[in-house]
Structure 1
C-alpha cells in the first residue's frame, strides 16, 4: 500500500526510509548512508492511466492495488511530470472529439523526459488501420509529441517509438534513447543523483569493469569514463538495441556489449559453457577489477553471488533493500561496505533504491 501524497510530510517519510535502510545494513557495519532526495512534486516521468467511462464519456482513472472495479477519476497527477499534466486534458479532449481517435480507447501511457520530449501510447480494444493515422498525426503535431497506437498484436508508429533523454553527470551531458515499453528510471532527477554517486564511488581505474543487467546503458555510459574497458551484459533484446544506439549516440568506444543473462555470464567466465554470442570476443583480454550490478527486485541468484565475490570491488545498486540485505549475508564474508546511499526514486511509497560499494576484506 502506498503512502499518501503529502509534500508537507515528505521530509518525515524520507527520514523513515533512511532509518529502515540503516537498520537493514547495521549487521554489516555499513557507514552512514548518503541520502539523495527527490523533488516533492512532478518527479515521475512515466504514467499509465486506464480510461473509465461514465455516461459514455472517458475519464482518466487509477485504482487501488488489487481492486480493478473501484475507479478514482483524475484530471491531474501531481507526482507526474509537468509535461504529462499539461498533456492530459488536451489529449483526452481530442480523443473525445474524434471517433477515429477515441473509439474503444481504454488506456493511455505517457513517457516524458527532462529534455522536454514526450511519447504517448493510445491503447485500443479494436484493430487499428490507415484511417487512424491522419487524425493521430494531426494530434501529434498539435501537442508536439510522438504518438503510437496499440491494439492486440499491432503497433502503429507515426514517426518513431522512442524519446531521447539528456542527463548530466559530473558536468557531462549524456543522451539516451528511451524506447516505448522499455524500462527506464521513472525519476529523472534522482536518476542523475544515482549516476553521479556511482561514478564517484567507482573512482579512477586502470583496469576493467564487468557490468551485469546493463539495460539501455543507463550506468554504462558514464562509468565507461572511469575504466580502461567495460564488458556490459543484458538479456532483453529491446534493451540491448537501445544500449547499442546509446553507445553510438555518445560515441563510446571502450564498451563491449553482450546479450547474456547473468547466469550465462557466470558460465562463460568460468569456462563451463561457450556461447555463440561471444564469438569474436576474447574474455582473456579483460582484466576485471570491479563488477557493477543493478539486479531485479529478487536480487542476485546464488551463482551470480559466487561470481561477484571473485572481484575486489562490487558496486551494487538495489531496488529492493530486503534482497540486498539477503545478498549481503553472503557478501559480508569476503567484502566490507565502504560506502552506501539511499536514492528516493519513489516518494510517497515504501519503495526505495539504494547503493553500496563493497571492497575485499
Structure 2
C-alpha cells in the first residue's frame, strides 16, 4: 500500500514503464508481446490500514515513510475505494468525543467490497469490555448509512466480533457473478477490478482443457471456482486454515460441486506426489483419483521452491500467476527445458508502485 501521494496524470507513464520492464524480463523466453490489463487510476484498492495518532484533543490517521519512518498525515486516501474514503472521517468524528471508543485506539483496518460492504477492525492497546462492545454497536448503526458495515475489536489476545468477521465480495468473471467470502486478516486480492481481469484471463486461457485442474495456493477459491467450468474436477490446495474454510464455503455459496479443497502446503503436496511422505488429508481427498493435466500456481513473492518446480513440470499446461516477476523468471529458467511460454500478461494490481503482477501460460514441449 503506497504511502506516497499519487497523480493520476502519471498513470499511463508508470504503466508503460512496467510493460517495457516485464517484456525485457520475459524476452529470454521468446515472449515479445504481453496482454496488458490496466487498473482504475484512483479508488482501486479494496483494503487499507492506518495508524491512529492522538494529539491532544485531536486524532487523525497516519502512515509511515518506510525509508525515513517519517509520519505522514492521511485525511483522505485516493488509492482506496470510495467506501473507505467515506468511512475514514466518519469513524474518527464518531470516536473523537467518546472515551470508551477512543482510549488507546491504535489502528484502523478496512476490508471492503464492490457491493458496498465493509469490515472495520478497531485495534487497541488495552483490553475491551462490555461498555466498548455496546458503544461499538452504536457506531456500527451510525455507519450503516454508508453500506453494510461490520465491526471487529481487537486487543492483545482478544477479539470481539459484533456480528461477523467477514464480508461477501461479488466478482464478475466473463459476465457471470461469483460470490466470495473474505475474512478479516486472510489474504484477498487488493484490486478488485484488476482481479476480475486476471481471473477472466486465466479462464480464457484454459478453455478447451481436458482432464482435471490442480491448483496450489488456492486461497479462498479466487481462481478455483470460476475455472471449475473448464475442467472435469479441480483439486485445490492451501495451507491457511481460514482460507480453506472460506474456499469450501464459497463452493457452496456458488453452487459449485466439482472442487475439492485440501489443507496442504505446496511443499507438502509435492512431497506426497513424489512419494516421499504420507498424508492423511491427501488420502482422504483421494488425490490419486484425479487426472490433472493442468496446474495453476499463485505463489507468494518467494516463488516456487525447487521441489514444487519439479512437481509442476509434470503437467502439460501450467498457469503461473506471479506477484514477483523476479522469482517468476527464476522459475521459468528451470521450466524452460520442458515447457514453452505461450502467453503472458501484466496485471496492474499495484499502480504507482514498482510492484507488478504477471501471468504466464506454459505448454509442454513436443
Bucket of the pairwise TM-score, normalised by the shorter protein: over 0.9
Name the counterpart of 2:159. Answer: 155
Q: In the alignment, which of 231, 244, 248 is matched to residue 227 of structure 1?
A: 231
Residues 38-68 of structure 1, C-alpha deviation per residue, up to 9 Å, x if partnerless?
0000000101000112224211001101444
**Which aligned pairs between 1:283-322 and structure 2 lie closer than 5 A?**
283-322=287-326
**Contact 1:209-1:288 within 8 A present in 2 as well:** yes
What does residue 9 of structure 2 align with? 8
1:61-72 to structure 2, matched below 5 A, reads 61-68=62-69, 70-72=70-72
Once the 2 structures are TM-superposed, how far is the Cα of residue 2 of structure 1 from its aligned partner?
7.3
- CA shift digits 1:140-163 (9 cap, x unpaired): 111121001000010000010000
TM-score, normalised by the number of residues in structure 1 = 0.97
Aligned residue number for residue 260 of structure 1? 264
What are the equivalent positions in structure 2 for 1:122-133 lying under 5 Å apart?
Answer: 122-133=122-133
Higher RCO (Cα < 8 Å, 6 or more apart) = 1
**Counterpart Cα distance in 1 of 2:290 and 2:3:** 44
Map 1:273-284 → 2, pairs under 5 A: 273-284=277-288
RMSD: 1.2
2:40 alignment partner in structure 1: 39
CA offset at residue 4 of structure 1?
5.3
Q: Does 2:333 align with 1:332?
A: no
CA-to-partner distance for each residue in 1:126-178, whole Å, 9 max, x for gaps?
A: 00011111110111111121001000010000010000000000111000000
Match of 1:197 among 196, 201, 218: 201
- Local SS of the residue matching 1:280: helix
- 1:213 matched residue in structure 2: 217
- CA distance in 2: counterparts of 1:351 and 1:195, whole angstroms: 19
Q: How do 1:65-80 and structure 2 match up within 5 A?
A: 65-68=66-69, 70-80=70-80
Are 2:172 and 1:171 equivalent residues in the alignment? Answer: no
Q: Deviations over 1:81-138 (max 9, x none)?
A: 0000011111101111211111100100011111110110000010001111111011
Q: Which residue of structure 2 aligns with residue 188 of structure 1?
A: 192
Deviation of 1:5 (Å): 1.2
Distance 1:305 1:2 in 2: 35
Instruction: Tell me the secondary structure at the aligned position of residue 182 of structure 1.
Output: coil
Contact 1:319–1:354 (Cα < 8 Å) also in 2: yes
Aligned match of 1:55: 56
Q: Which residue of 1 aligns with 2:99?
A: 99
* Residue 205 of structure 1: how far off its partner (Å): 2.3
Q: Hey, what does 1:323 align to over in structure 2? A: 327
Distance 1:57 1:284 in 2: 61
Structure 1 CA distance for aligned equivalents of residues 67 and 32 of structure 2 = 38
For normalisation by structure 2, the TM-score amounts to 0.96
Q: Which moved more, 1:57-66 or 1:40-49?
A: 57-66
Q: Secondary structure at the match of 2:194?
A: helix
Tell me the CA shift for residue 3 of structure 1: 6.8
**Unpaired runs of 5+ in structure 2?**
none
- CA distance in 1: counterparts of 2:349 and 2:156, whole angstroms: 32
CA contact (8 A) 2:46 2:113 kept: yes
Question: Does the CA-based 8 Å contact 2:199-2:226 persist in structure 1?
Answer: yes
Q: Is the 8 A contact 2:112 2:118 kept in 1?
A: yes
Do the aligned residues in 2 keep the contact of 1:231 with 1:258 (CA within 8 Å)? yes
Does residue 361 of structure 2 align to residue 357 of structure 1? Answer: yes
Conserved 8 A contact 1:2-1:348: no
